[in-house]
Every structure is written in C-alpha cells, then in structure tokens.
Amino acid sequence: MKSDQKAFHKSRRAGFSELIGKDSVAVIFGNTTRNKSYDEDYKFKQYKNFYYLTGFLEPNSVLVLAPGGIQFPVNGKQKTLTEILFVQKKDALMETWNGKRLGHSDVRRELGIQNSFVNEEIPQILNSRFLRRFSKLYTNFGEMLKLTNDTKRIINNFTETLNIIAPALEISDASYLLGKMRAVKTNYEINKIGEAAEISTGAYNETLKSVRPGINEFSIQAMLEYYYKYHGGDDIAYHPIVASGENACILHYNANNRQMKSGELLLIDSASEYNYYCSDITRTFPVNGKFTNEQRIIYEIVLKANKECIKKIRPGVKFSDLDNLSTKILTEGLFKAGLLKNKKDIKKYSLHGIGHHIGLDTHDAVPFTKTGSTDNDTLKAGNVITIEPGLYFTGNMKEIPVKFRKIGVRIEDDILVTKTGSINLTESMIKEAAEIEIAMKDN
Ligand SMILES: [Mn+2]
C-alpha cells in the first residue's frame, strides 16, 4: 500500500477512535464472499466502512479498535493493544486457487495497523474477559447481519451469548459516526473521486459519438464500461441505467436490453469507480442527434434546475434549500409550458430528490446524512454531492399532450463543496442541448 493511502486510513482510525472515546471498543466487520450460483461467487467487494478504516481488500477480516487499550495475549505475554486486525491465515492451497493472502505477520508493514492475528482468534476477543471492561460496543450492525460462511457462525454465537457475557454493554451502530466522518472528504478522497469523475466524463464524451437509432442499450453500456476499465477505472460505481424512450421513466431501470429508436431520448446514468471511490453521472441525449421541440422544452427546464442549484452551492447552504430551489424551477418551467395545471402536482413528474453525497458508496454516508436533523442537512467544505434534477412523463399520463409523453430527462453532476463555493468535478462533460447536437451531428 502506498504511503499516502496508509496515512489516510491511519488518520481515519485515529478520528474514529477519538469519536468513540476510551470507554468504548469498536468491532468493525469486513465483508465475506457471496455465492452467485453453484460454485461461483460474486466479485468480492469490501464493506465500505471497513475499507475506510483499513484499505484492506481481503474477505473474512475484522478490525478491533480500543482507544483506551485492551489486554490481549501476544506470543504468550499480555500486551495493551489499541488496534487489531484479524485476517485470513496463509494457506498455500487456497492461495493457489483463489489468490494471495497477506497473512497476519505482514499487516503492520503493509497496512500500518499495529497488531494482527489470524481470524480464527476472533471469538477470543468477543468473549467476556475482553468486553466486560468497556461500557460501549460499536459495530457495523447492519453489515454484520449480512455476513456469510465462518464469520456468520462466529457472529451468531456472539449475538446469542452477548447478554450473558457482557450484560451491561451498550451496543451502538458504528455507521452513524462513520457516516459523519465519511460525509467530509479529505484531499486524498477528493482526488480519488475526481479521478473517477474524469474517467467517467471521458467515457460519455467518447460514447456519445456512437449513439444512433438501431443500437441496443447494452451496446452503449459496454462502450462506457470498456472506456472506464481501459482508463484505470477498476470497477463500475453502480449498475448502470441505459434507458431509451419510456424506459427512462423507470428510475432504477436495469434491464438495458432494448433497441433504441429515432425520435426517442436516451438517458444514461452510469459512472466509474476509482480505487473504491465513486462518481455518479447522468446525461440525456436524443437518439438521432436532434431534440424534438417537446424534448428540448423539458430538457431546458431540467438543465436550468441543474445549473441554478450548482450555482447556489457553498458551505452553510442546506440540502433542503437546493431541493426546494430545484422543485421551484421545475414547477415554474412546467407551468409556463402549460403542462402543469396545479403546481402541487410537480412530484408526480419530478419523482426524486435533488441529490445525495457520493464517496466510497454511490449513496454515501447515508446513516448520517439522512437522519433529517438540520445539522446533517447543512453543506460543509469537503462534502461531495450530486445535483440531479429530473422530469419524467410516462406513456400513460393522459393529462400530458402525446408529444410530451415517454420523455424522461435527468442531468446529474458531481460537486465538491469548497470553503468559498464549489467545484464541478464533471464540468468537462457537455450538457447544453446545442453542444450535444453538434457533438452528435456526424453519428
Ligand atoms: Mn445519483
């Protein structure tokens, strides 16, 4: 692991340890493998909270943080430890089949984590002797419940006996405090998200040239993802939405298997991940390279909401202010176009909120940011958020003139909140209707 990454994760462990305090212990579980079918697993993805604190990408690992110290036997002697990583043991046969394992003896050198043991010793630390001296246990509870395999058996045993071995221990979900930390990005993280955004915008600008009638949605998906990987984006940030025509009105459409037709719009919500950090972009293009009048009217309304909200972003502004501003612009736009009789009906066509935080997760730091308290709603320098207004008119909306039906438009950018305002990380991706038509004219 490179030294800047090592320093980043170390600073996260230090920050989290400070938040939980010396009377607490944190047990943060990494992910386990998931079966896909028969003897094949899904590609392994580390739990993001665990990754945030360690950067370690092997399954079946557990991090224990005890800021006040924990007595634990090391080579037969009691030692006071503040951070322990439990990892898979070295196993020549398993490594031949499934890939190298770091092994516990290399943890300190490779990851900079003070102490390490093989994960067969996890039950030791989860027993009374160690837990009773703490007043509070933090764990990534929701993630813990989804673990599989051997780790699952350890957890079951632990949760069944917990009220006996440590009856006074208060248990808290670590995701809230970790979410609070994760909502404010360090420079290390901002660079990773910026890299992901740059790879993604490059892919869109390139793929745009191949959008034309007769192409299948999954072909466009393939071109984007080819570009991501070829340019260093090691994974997709989320399952992409490549939705032509009315499919754009299905918010999480994921079939991506329809042939697109002339006269329709194509909505693409896809982005690259880079070193576990996500970008999140949506653009909407006319399949034949030219917007119809009706498509253009809707497109301009959404674009205005996108641009006005981005302009307003700075520390102190509330997410809910941006949501209200977007709703106001979309409402006025539709009202002026004669498509909205009652302004209260806007939610029927705008469907979702203005945006969310991005980071290790595409919907990042949610346990903290979605709790509804005003504090969490206020933007701070270091936040990275999406701005993604949208309007959607299905074929069934009889109150809307036919030419406006089967139109779905969303325009989404990734914005870094700075001390004085904001930086659009997806700026280099075209979004003016005229620019899109010029870029597509030779398709
Ligand atoms: Mn989004």
Over residues 242-261, the pLDDT tens digits come to 999 999 999 999 999 999 99
Q: Do 3-180 and 184-439 have matching folds?
A: no
Answer for the pair 330, 346: CB distance below 8 angstroms, yes or no: yes
Q: Please count the other Cβ atoms lying within 10 Å of the Cβ belonging to residue 23.
A: 13
Q: Return the sign of the alpha-carbon dihedral for residues 337, 341, 344, 346.
A: negative
Alpha helices in 208-290 (DSSP H): 217-230
Using alpha carbons, select from 407, 412, 381 the residue that is nearest to residue 394.
407
Which residue's entry shows tokens 């670590």?
Answer: 174
**b/e string for 102-135 if b means 16 or more Cβ within 10 A?**
bbbeebeeebbbebbbebebbeebbeeebbebbe
CATH 2.60.40.180 corresponds to the domain 184-439: no
- Residue 438: its pLDDT value, please? 96
Q: Please count the other Cβ atoms lying within 10 Å of the Cβ belonging to residue 33.
A: 16
With a pLDDT cut of 90, the percent of the chain lying above it is 86
Residue 82 tokens, joined: 């503040």
- Averaged pLDDT for residues 310-337: 96
Catalytic amino acids? 39, 252, 269, 280, 352, 356, 363, 388, 392, 410, 412
| Domain residue ranges of the chain, discontinuous segments joined by + | 3-180, 184-439
Answer for the pair 136, 24: CB distance below 8 angstroms, yes or no: yes
pLDDT digits (tens, 9 = 90+) for 61-97: 999 999 999 888 888 898 999 999 999 999 999 999 9
Using alpha carbons, select from 239, 240, 238, 234 the residue that is nearest to residue 274.
234
Residue 13 — very low, low, confident or very high, per pLDDT cuts 50/70/90? very high
Reported pTM: 0.95
- Residue 373: its pLDDT value, please? 61
pLDDT above 80: residue 372: no
Torsion of Cα atoms, 245 then 246 then 248 then 254, to 10°: -100
Assigned fold of 3-180: Creatine Amidinohydrolase; Chain A, domain 1 (3.40.350)
- Averaged pLDDT for residues 16-32: 97
- Residue 374: its pLDDT value, please? 58
Distance from Cα 385 to the centre of ligand 1, integer Å = 9
pLDDT digits (tens, 9 = 90+) for 402-426: 999 999 999 999 999 999 999 999 9
Using alpha carbons, select from 235, 204, 190, 223 the residue that is nearest to residue 414.
190
- Residue 177: its pLDDT value, please? 94
- Residue 152: its pLDDT value, please? 87
Tell me which of 147 and 366 has the higher pLDDT: 147
pLDDT above 70: residue 43: yes
Distance from Cα 80 to the centre of ligand 1, integer Å = 44
pLDDT above 80: residue 375: no
- Collect all residues with Cβ–Cβ distance below 8 Å to 173 and sequence separation of at least 6: 138, 139, 140, 141, 142, 367
Distance from Cα 162 to the centre of ligand 1, integer Å = 39
pLDDT above 90: residue 107: yes
**Euclidean distance between CA atoms 101 and 91, whole angstroms:** 8
pLDDT digits (tens, 9 = 90+) for 430-441: 999 999 999 999
Distance from Cα 276 to the centre of ligand 1, integer Å = 16
Distance from Cα 370 to the centre of ligand 1, integer Å = 15
With a pLDDT cut of 70, the percent of the chain lying above it is 99
Tell me which of 175 and 126 has the higher pLDDT: 175
Using alpha carbons, select from 313, 303, 311, 280 the residue that is nearest to residue 390.
303
- Averaged pLDDT for residues 98-114: 95
Residues, beta carbon < 5 Å, ion ligand 1: 280, 386
- Collect all residues with Cβ–Cβ distance below 8 Å to 182 and sequence separation of at least 6: 48, 52, 357, 359, 360, 364, 365, 368
Residue 146 tokens, joined: 């989804």
pLDDT above 90: residue 377: no
Residue 376 tokens, joined: 């969490």
Residue 173 — very low, low, confident or very high, per pLDDT cuts 50/70/90? very high
Q: Kindly report the average pLDDT of the chain as a whole number.
A: 94
